[in-house]
């Protein structure tokens, strides 16, 4: 009873604060202090929403766009969202801005592709949308440069198709707090479903690239990386993590003997989560821990697989010294030559944890080897609290110092999975090649094209049939 | 785009000098073809070669993980006899020119320590200031911007405190791209002891990532085998530049042994010819030719290319090609101590005493750099303890004692260019029928006087300060693997081979950059100066192709 009262009280505070801010806004008192507070809040929300992840290129000017985002349907370029009138969103009214944020509609009425997570941003309260608008218009430096245009292949280049998609899949309702839950839980739910858009990566997508709500946060492939199951399932999700462990992971990007953030999650920690308030991180962890468990089929825990192991005893002395690159090196040789100098000869990593152990590690313990392959190809580069965690890629980029072939990575990855991972999974060259190409491509494109072709054939056959009948009728 | 037989810029050699020039030329929109005599071998293969060596070859046989191809021989020391197979050495200090370099794609930076000293202004004016050696054709402030560019190209870590920077009397235009590598316990101790006798042990700037990644390469994690190979490419080596060159459109042909430089009318270089591993000959044409094979292979190739137009060899109207061969003659002192020193934490070299390289004394004897080797001594400890016949706990204890309580002190003397220290073509031939290099070497009285009056007494003082109970000095001068002088730079075409841009005086489109061009050897490691000269030459090459 007491607890429930406490909750309701907290809820009132949670919603009263934005209410008061909006009231003061409605009163339109030009108060510099109030405006700078709104700008600060907008900036914080832009960080929470990690707008820069897509709208800022590495080393580029903030929010100038132009980052190529490979999707299963083709490359989408992020847009310039600085307040430049000619190249950015400088001419957007607040209403137009809100429409783009909440419903994915540009100022000119064209539809955005859902690579822009407006299905999540729809949850933003009007007041938070206002703060974002004020921040982007007043505090972001305009960049007078056009970002490259997105040109998806036919028929995906018909943006009007998004009208149907939105009708089917866009839940335009604002966030509705659950009065049965604590204020902290509600704050977490608001952030996770909205700003931090966790489902964008962690929820599997259906045939039409829509998030499948029934399998929310149960894991999905995103480009070359796999965003794992983060539901509370104790085996295939993160149910075995405590709330504090999850919060620590979000702040630092790593949880010793369990997992480390790489790929998009590494960026999310670096650019977004590490900068959020302790209260918000705790709220996010509280909410995520409560997400209904979804058990992945044929799944075992990805955090407990493998053990210390080395083949040094049989390796040394057997192979001599050569001035030739081996055509078919063994996984053990590749491991010792490429990995052991940092991760140790037996895979246990370094004592200080800078180099993670390769066993009891989600990157090697998962049945799906995508993240292991992606880590070998593209490495890890994550800076948190001024400290960098870095692993070089081994050939994902043509400039990488050390280039491993698809067959090398298949042999190396299989060795790692066999000894430090689930033990019974082999990696094929084709799997490596697919990740190197940027991850699996969608069937939607060929099917859509095929569908259109089939429709055309039906029309042609139908027309031929009619002509044939008429001729027959004349005869 | 370069083809297999022509490019705007043809670069012979894929070491640090060739790679820096290739990248600069590609950035300027020129086509580049690189020719490498040796094979291109994966880093992990070399790392495994090293680890597959027997313990007796793990230290001091830095060539051992790089078995040469028959068509691209280099020094091998695995067996005593092998040392004499390729380099033909003679003279009073033949042993001091037993140069280890690697004829693999990536060159000798595969097994360098990564040390990146700049020269001092005085180092470039030996003749004016001390009446010995030669002056450079330009002043220190001309090379300074190139040093900075080289430090950023290689990724050099070094101290930000000006009091710890070298040289102490010349301004830097930019800070080091990364902070210094922290000292291990042995280096801390040495620094304290050295300070008591007026020697300043300062952090060595090194092309090694300290604490952060640089150009996609990871930070150093202290494997402590910088030589013979950095297993993770935290140390710059030119092999890491090769994929970047290819990504920019450069072409790299390996196992292509250039054996002849062909000149045409008006002494323009028209082509180079190379052998493939089947001894088939091929011709490559271009607009500019860069011979970046460092101080032995470059003069060897110039001499071997002699023809009717160039009776002394290409670029050799001065008769200076192959003369003035330099390296820092090295002495080492192995000491045993009562207290543990624990070398081996961090890179194999990380600091040096530099103030002993400079002084008015240079009018009578050589300056010298003093340092302590920072490699882990456990392999030596294990071998020595086993040799004593120890077993069980006594064996463990002795391995531990030798690993902790022994050290190697090193002194490297500055050489002077002498025309008598000369590389010529030996009558002995290699697998392809190319004459082997023959080198006469005498360290000279300038160095001998320094050792006797200056450096060996200093070594004794240092050893005493460390509490040494035994002191064993190497019986003769050794090589430092810093090959300099064979294509010496100067303004006078009758006494030098190349001009201030490393362009051959005799051939306007032939560049001979690298250690061979250096007019003074000094006590400092040569690579950063070679890299700076490479960038200076690259600017000249780009300018020459743009403006004729």
A155: DSSP letter: T
| Residue A178 in domain | yes
Residues A106 and A177 in one domain: yes
Chain B residues close to A320, C-beta within 8 Å: 52
| Residue A319 in domain | no
* CB spacing of A355 vs B51 below 8 angstroms: no
Q: What stretches of B133-217 adopt beta strand conformation (E)?
A: 201-203
- Residues contacting B397, CB < 8 A, separation 6+: none
Give residue-wise pLDDT tens across range B355-367. 999 999 999 999 9
Q: Are A290 and A185 in contact (CB under 8 A)?
A: yes
Residue where the block lists tokens 């000279």:
B444
SS3 B410: strand
CA–CA–CA angle B41, B487, B280 (5° rounding): 45
Give residue-wise pLDDT tens across range B282-340. 999 999 999 999 999 999 999 999 999 999 999 999 999 999 999 999 999 999 999 99
**How many other β-carbons are positioned within 10 Å of the β-carbon of residue B454?**
20
B235: DSSP letter: B
pLDDT of residue A7: 43
CA nearest B301: which of B268, B266, B250, B256?
B256
Chain B residues close to A333, C-beta within 8 Å: 44, 48
Q: How far apart are CA B241 and CA B247, in angstroms?
A: 10
* CB spacing of B247 vs A399 below 8 angstroms: yes
pLDDT of residue A220: 94
Q: Which of residues 348-407 of A touch B (CB under 8 A)?
A: 350, 354-355, 381, 388, 390-393, 397-403
Residue B34: beta bridge partners? B11, B252
SS3 B284: strand
Average pLDDT score over residue span B4-17: 97
* CB spacing of A399 vs B216 below 8 angstroms: yes
* Least-confidence region, from A256-265, A319-328, B185-194, B213-222: A319-328
pLDDT of residue B79: 75
* CB spacing of B42 vs A402 below 8 angstroms: yes
Q: How far is CA B231 from CA A98, A357, B356, in A?
A: 53, 19, 33
Domain boundary among A238, A267, A290: A290
B250: contact with A, CB 8 A cutoff: no
pLDDT of residue B83: 61
SS3 readout for A276-324 = CCHHHHHHHHHHHHHCCCCCCCCCCCCCCCCCCCCCHHHHECCECCCCC
- CATH fold, domain B6-547, is FAD/NAD(P)-binding domain (3.50.50)
Average pLDDT score over residue span B10-23: 98
How large a percentage of chain B has pLDDT more than 70?
99
Q: How confident is the model at residue B252 (pLDDT cuts 50, 70, 90)?
A: very high
Q: How far apart are CA A263 and CA B317, in angstroms?
A: 60
Residues A367 and A452 in one domain: no
With the CA atoms of B387, B389, B391 and B395 taken in that order, what torsion angle do they form, in degrees rounded to the nearest 10? -40
Q: Which of residues 32-61 of B touch A (CB under 8 A)?
A: 38-45, 47-49, 51-53
Smallest Cβ distance to B216: which of A325, A354, A400?
Answer: A400
| Residue A441 in domain | no
Residues A118 and A171 in one domain: yes
Q: How far is CA B298 from CA B294, B295, B495, in A?
A: 6, 6, 18
| Residue A183 in domain | yes
Backbone angles phi, psi at A390, to 5 degrees: -135, 130
What is the enclosing helix (H) or strand (E) of B258? strand B257-263
Domain count, chain A: 3
Pick out chain A residues at pLDDT < 70: 1-30, 442-475
Residue where the block lists tokens 């590494």:
A266
Residue A387: beta bridge partners? A384
Residue where the block lists tokens 């392959």:
A373
Residue B371: beta bridge partners? B410
Distance, C-alpha A387 to centroid of its chain: 22
pLDDT of residue A470: 59
Residues A223 and A340 in one domain: no
- Residues contacting B130, CB < 8 A, separation 6+: B360, B362, B363
Q: How far apart are CA B419 and CA B320, in angstroms?
A: 7
Q: How confident is the model at residue B503 (pLDDT cuts 50, 70, 90)?
A: very high
Residues A389 and A413 in one domain: yes
Domain around A462: 448-475
Measured between CA atoms, the residue of chain A closest to residue B238 is A401
Residues A405 and A469 in one domain: no
* CB spacing of B243 vs A355 below 8 angstroms: no
Residues A130 and A269 in one domain: yes
Residues A130 and A162 in one domain: yes
Measured between CA atoms, the residue of chain A closest to residue B225 is A341
Residues A78 and A197 in one domain: yes
| Residue A300 in domain | no
Domain boundary among A290, A313, A341: A290
Q: How far apart are CA B517 and CA A368, in angstroms?
A: 56
pLDDT of residue B116: 98
User: What residue spans define the domains of chain B?
Assistant: 6-547
Measured between CA atoms, the residue of chain A closest to residue B223 is A341
With the CA atoms of A364, A368, A372 and A377 taken in that order, what torsion angle do they form, in degrees rounded to the nearest 10? 170
Q: How far apart are CA B360 and CA B338, in angstroms?
A: 37
Backbone angles phi, psi at B501, to 5 degrees: -105, 15
Residues A384 and A456 in one domain: no
Q: Which of B140, B482, B505, B507 is catalytic?
A: B482
User: What is the average pLDDT score of chain B?
Assistant: 96
Residues A51 and A78 in one domain: yes
**How many other β-carbons are positioned within 10 Å of the β-carbon of residue B397?**
12
Average pLDDT score over residue span B519-528: 98
Q: How far apart are CA B99 and CA B482, in angstroms?
A: 8
The pair of three-digit structure tokens given for residue A123, joined into one six-digit string: 């949850």
Q: Is B460 a catalytic residue?
A: no
Residues A125 and A158 in one domain: yes
SS3 B118: coil
Chain A residues close to B43, C-beta within 8 Å: 337, 401-402
pLDDT of residue B78: 81
Q: What is the CATH number of the domain that holds A421?
A: 1.10.760.10
pLDDT of residue B7: 98
Measured between CA atoms, the residue of chain A closest to residue B241 is A401
Question: Is B265 a residue whose pLDDT tops 90?
Answer: no
Smallest Cβ distance to A388: which of B44, B67, B213?
Answer: B213
A-B contacts (CB, under 8 Å):
95
pLDDT of residue B1: 65
Give residue-wise pLDDT tens across range B61-95. 999 999 999 999 999 988 777 666 899 999 999 99
Residue B503: beta bridge partners? B511
| Residue A302 in domain | no
* CB spacing of A319 vs B231 below 8 angstroms: no
- Residues contacting A446, CB < 8 A, separation 6+: none
CA nearest B20: which of B541, B543, B499?
B541
Closest approach of chain B CAs to the CA of A381, in angstroms? Answer: 9
């Amino acid at each position: 009873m007491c607890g429930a009262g406490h909750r309701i009280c907290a809820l009132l505070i949670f919603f009263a604060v934005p209410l008061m801010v909006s009231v003061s806004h409605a009163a339109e008192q030009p108060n510099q202090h109030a405006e700078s507070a709104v700008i600060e809040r907008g900036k914080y929300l832009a960080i929470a929403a990690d707008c820069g992840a897509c709208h800022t290129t590495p080393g580029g000017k903030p929010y100038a766009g132009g980052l190529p985002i490979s999707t299963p349907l083709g490359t989408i370029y992020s847009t310039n969202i600085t307040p430049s009138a000619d190249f950015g969103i400088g001419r957007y009214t607040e209403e137009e801005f809100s429409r783009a944020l909440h419903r994915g509609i540009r100022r000119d009425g064209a539809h955005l592709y859902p690579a822009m997570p407006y299905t999540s941003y729809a949850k933003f309260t009007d007041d938070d949308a206002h703060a974002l608008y004020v921040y982007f218009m007043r505090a972001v430096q305009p960049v007078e440069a056009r970002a490259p245009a997105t040109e998806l292949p036919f028929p995906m280049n018909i943006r009007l198709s998004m009208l149907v998609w939105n009708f089917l899949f866009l839940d335009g309702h604002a966030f509705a707090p659950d009065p049965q839950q604590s204020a902290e839980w509600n704050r977490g739910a608001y952030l996770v479903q909205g700003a931090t858009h966790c489902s964008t990566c962690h929820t599997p997508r259906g045939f039409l690239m829509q998030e499948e709500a029934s399998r929310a946060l149960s894991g999905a492939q995103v480009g070359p990386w796999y965003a794992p199951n983060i539901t509370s399932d104790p085996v295939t999700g993160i149910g075995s993590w405590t709330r504090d462990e999850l919060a620590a992971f979000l702040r630092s990007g790593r949880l010793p003997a369990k997992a480390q953030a790489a790929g998009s999650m590494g960026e999310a920690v670096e650019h977004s989560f590490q900068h959020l308030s302790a209260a918000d991180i705790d709220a996010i962890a509280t909410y995520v821990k409560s997400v209904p468990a979804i058990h992945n089929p044929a799944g075992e825990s990805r955090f407990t697989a493998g053990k210390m192991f080395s083949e040094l005893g049989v390796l040394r002395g057997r192979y001599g010294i050569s001035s030739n690159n081996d055509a078919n090196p063994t996984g053990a040789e590749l491991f010792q030559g490429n990995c052991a100098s940092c991760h140790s000869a037996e895979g246990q990593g370094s004592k200080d944890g800078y180099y993670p152990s390769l066993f009891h590690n989600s990157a090697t313990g998962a049945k799906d080897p995508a993240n292991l392959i992606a880590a070998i190809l593209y490495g890890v580069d994550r800076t948190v609290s001024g400290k960098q965690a870095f692993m070089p890629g081994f050939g994902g980029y043509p400039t990488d110092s050390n280039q491993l072939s698809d067959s090398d990575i298949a042999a190396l990855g299989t060795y790692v999975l066999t000894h430090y991972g689930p033990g019974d999974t082999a990696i094929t060259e084709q799997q490596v090649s697919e990740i190197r190409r940027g991850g699996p491509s969608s069937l939607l494109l060929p099917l859509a094209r095929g569908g259109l072709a089939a429709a055309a054939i039906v029309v042609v056959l139908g027309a031929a049939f009619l002509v044939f009948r008429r001729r027959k009728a004349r005869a | 785009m370069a083809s297999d037989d022509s490019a705007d810029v043809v670069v012979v050699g894929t070491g640090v000098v060739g790679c820096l020039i290739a990248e600069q030329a590609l950035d300027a929109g020129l086509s580049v073809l690189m020719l490498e005599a040796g094979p291109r071998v994966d880093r992990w293969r070399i790392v495994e070669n090293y680890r597959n060596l027997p313990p007796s070859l793990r230290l001091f046989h830095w060539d051992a993980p790089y078995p040469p191809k028959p068509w691209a021989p280099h020094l091998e020391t695995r067996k005593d006899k092998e040392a004499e197979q390729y380099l033909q050495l003679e003279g009073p200090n033949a042993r001091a020119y037993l140069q280890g370099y690697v004829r693999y794609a990536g060159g000798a930076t595969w097994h360098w320590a990564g040390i990146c000293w700049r020269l001092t202004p005085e180092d470039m004016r030996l003749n004016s200031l001390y009446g010995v050696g030669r002056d450079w054709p330009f002043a220190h402030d001309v090379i300074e911007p190139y040093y900075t560019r080289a430090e950023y190209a290689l990724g050099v870590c070094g101290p930000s405190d000006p009091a710890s920077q070298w040289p102490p009397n010349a301004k830097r235009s930019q800070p080091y791209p990364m902070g210094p590598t922290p000292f291990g316990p042995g280096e801390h101790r040495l620094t304290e002891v050295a300070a008591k006798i007026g020697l300043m042990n300062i952090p060595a700037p090194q092309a090694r990532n300290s604490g952060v990644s640089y150009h996609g390469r990871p930070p150093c994690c202290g494997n402590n085998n910088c030589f013979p190979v950095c297993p993770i490419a935290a140390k710059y080596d030119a092999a890491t530049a090769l994929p970047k060159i290819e990504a920019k459109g450069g072409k790299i042909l390996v196992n292509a042994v250039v054996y002849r430089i062909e000149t045409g009318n008006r002494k323009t270089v028209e082509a180079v010819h190379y052998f493939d591993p089947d001894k088939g000959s091929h011709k490559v044409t271009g607009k500019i030719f860069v011979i970046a094979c460092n101080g032995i292979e470059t003069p060897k190739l110039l001499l071997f290319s002699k023809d009717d137009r160039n009776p002394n060899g290409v670029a050799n109207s001065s008769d200076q090609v192959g003369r003035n061969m330099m390296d820092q003659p090295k002495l080492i002192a192995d000491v045993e101590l009562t207290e543990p020193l624990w070398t081996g934490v961090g890179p194999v070299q990380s600091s040096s005493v530099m103030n002993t390289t400079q002084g008015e004394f240079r009018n009578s004897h050589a300056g010298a750099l003093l340092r302590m080797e920072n490699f882990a001594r456990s392999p030596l400890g294990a071998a020595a303890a086993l040799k004593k016949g120890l077993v069980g706990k006594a064996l463990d204890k002795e391995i531990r004692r030798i690993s902790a309580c022994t050290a190697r002190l090193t002194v490297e003397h500055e050489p002077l260019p002498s025309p008598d220290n000369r590389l010529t073509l030996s009558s002995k031939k290699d697998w392809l029928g190319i004459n082997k290099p023959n080198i006469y070497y005498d360290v000279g009285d300038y160095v001998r006087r320094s050792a006797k009056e200056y450096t060996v007494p200093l070594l004794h003082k240092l050893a005493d300060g460390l509490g040494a109970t035994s002191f064993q000095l190497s019986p003769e001068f050794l090589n430092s693997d810093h090959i300099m002088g064979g294509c010496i730079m100067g303004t006078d075409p009758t006494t030098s081979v190349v001009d201030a841009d490393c362009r051959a005086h005799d051939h306007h489109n032939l560049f001979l950059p690298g250690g061979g061009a250096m007019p003074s050897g000094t006590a400092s490691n040569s690579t950063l100066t070679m890299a700076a000269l490479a960038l200076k030459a690259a600017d000249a090459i780009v300018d020459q192709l743009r403006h004729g």
